[in-house]
Amino acid sequence: MPKFVRYWTVTLLSLLAVATQQVLGSESGSNPSSSNSRSITAEQNALNLYKQREYTAAANAFEGIIRTSSPNASLYYYAALANLQSGKKARADQLFKYIDNNFPGTTEATYAHKALLYKQPSLQNNSQESDLPESIKNLLPTDMQALLKTESGKQIVQEALKEHAEQIQMIRNAEKQDDLEKPTSSPSAQAGANTAYLEHPFTAQDIARDGAGGIDQGRNPNCWFEASISALAQLPRGQRLLADTIRSRQGNHYVVRFHNDGVEYTVSREDLIRNNINDKALWASLIECAEIKKFPQNTGANGVDNDQSRLEIGLGCITGRNAEVISPENCDIEELSSFIGSAIKSQNPIVAATFGAAQLAIMPQILVPSHAYTVIDFEPSRNIVTIRNPHGRKSRMFQLSRDSQGIEFQQFGDGVIKIGLSTFQKYFHAVARSFI
């Protein structure tokens, strides 16, 4: 199918979805945006811009809401439509996918899923010129199809036919010429949002959008692994590796396969709840849950012969590559600087682990003992290392009382810390890097 036909297929599908939502909303008297009184004005403004067809302004308004609050499924859906109508199809697809993944069972998830499957129309050529093209009609959820048979629904169809006659004719011509793309995924993908089979349900762009901030280690003692995920989540090659780790999705079940073995771990939302996993990003939770299945109670986290660093195992598991480990206390500053700096400069993952509580007892308390951190930046001119605690937004806050100017130590939000390299050398017993 030509790209413009594909674009208008999903565009018209989305227009019909929002129109029928408005009809359903007016009939029930519901207002999906009324849950947060403080943000009603911003939400109503964005919705009004959308209804006035100020799509670019509406998209920007919805993006502002997304950045500063936790919108419901309806607002995410309108944000996706606004981005689509303003020509930002890649962003619209991201939002459709987010809705499909994070709001299962909702009407918005059904619509979003249908929009993502616009490449898979049913091919029938018995439509009448006064009706919608069959390839669009057959993509509509059952409740929308039923609504379009009512007087309100028929009016929606007529308005769509009138306003987008040229684009609808393109789709009809493509149908007649058998120029619509055939289904490319499993037949079960056409069964609906709750049973859809999706290969690689997360993209590198999805990972990049969350970055290291998508990881919030919870109660499980797997900082050595969570720090490794954080390291990859901030790197372009690492983002592709993480996206490839989650192999497929069927309904609420996902299949995760690590790069250093061929075992497939099935993860459900029930598994996440059972294992107290609640990372900020769903993809991070899924990978963490698979790790817990691979290393129950950290069994095997020190290697087959129990003689390897957990940092090495964590990086190797997620990258499929061997890791190089050094001990900072056995290096001089120049060697440590080179080891860290070369990994950062070449955009390769690097993590570090602190000494235990006994060794750090005589030191100022500025880091969590026996804990892994992600190294996310290095300033060689000042010998300043930036690290991130995988506890993320739940990280403990510390201060170095003798350093009121923050020259040796500064802590920021989301577990991010800047620390002088000489101080870093005293607190960390191991640093590991892997080249991907």
Instruction: Please name the residue ranges forming H helices in 69-106.
Output: 73-85, 89-102
pLDDT tens for residues 305-327? Answer: 888 999 999 999 999 999 999 99
pLDDT tens for residues 335-344? Answer: 999 999 999 9
Query: Residue 36 has what pLDDT?
Result: 44
pLDDT tens for residues 339-367? Answer: 999 999 999 999 999 999 999 999 999 99
Q: What is the average per-residue pLDDT within 114-131? A: 48
Do 180 and 139 meet the contact criterion of CB atoms below 8 Å apart? no
The end-to-end CA distance of the chain, in Å, is 37
Q: What is the average per-residue pLDDT within 285-289? A: 96
Whether 433 shows a pLDDT value over 80: the answer reads yes
Q: What six digits make up the tokens of 121?
A: 């129309």
In Å, how far are 332, 336, 383, 425 from 380, measured between CA atoms? 14, 11, 5, 15
CATH topology of domain 322-434: Cathepsin B; Chain A (3.90.70)
Whether 189 shows a pLDDT value over 90: the answer reads no
Residue with tokens 């509406």: 58
Q: What is the average per-residue pLDDT within 54-77? A: 84
Split at pLDDT 50, 70, 90, the class of 148 is low
From the list 78, 151, 148, 146, the residue with the least C-alpha distance to 115 is 78
Q: What is the average per-residue pLDDT within 182-204? A: 54
Averaged pLDDT score across all residues of the chain: 80
Higher-pLDDT residue of 158 and 186 is: 158
Whether 25 shows a pLDDT value over 50: the answer reads no
Quote the Cα angle for 290-389-339, to 5°.
Answer: 95
Domains in the chain: boundaries: 3-197, 204-298, 322-434
In Å, how far are 94, 123, 272, 337, 390 from 279, measured between CA atoms? 19, 41, 10, 32, 10
Q: Please give the model's pTM, rounded to 2 decimal places.
A: 0.57
Higher-pLDDT residue of 70 and 3 is: 70
Split at pLDDT 50, 70, 90, the class of 226 is very high
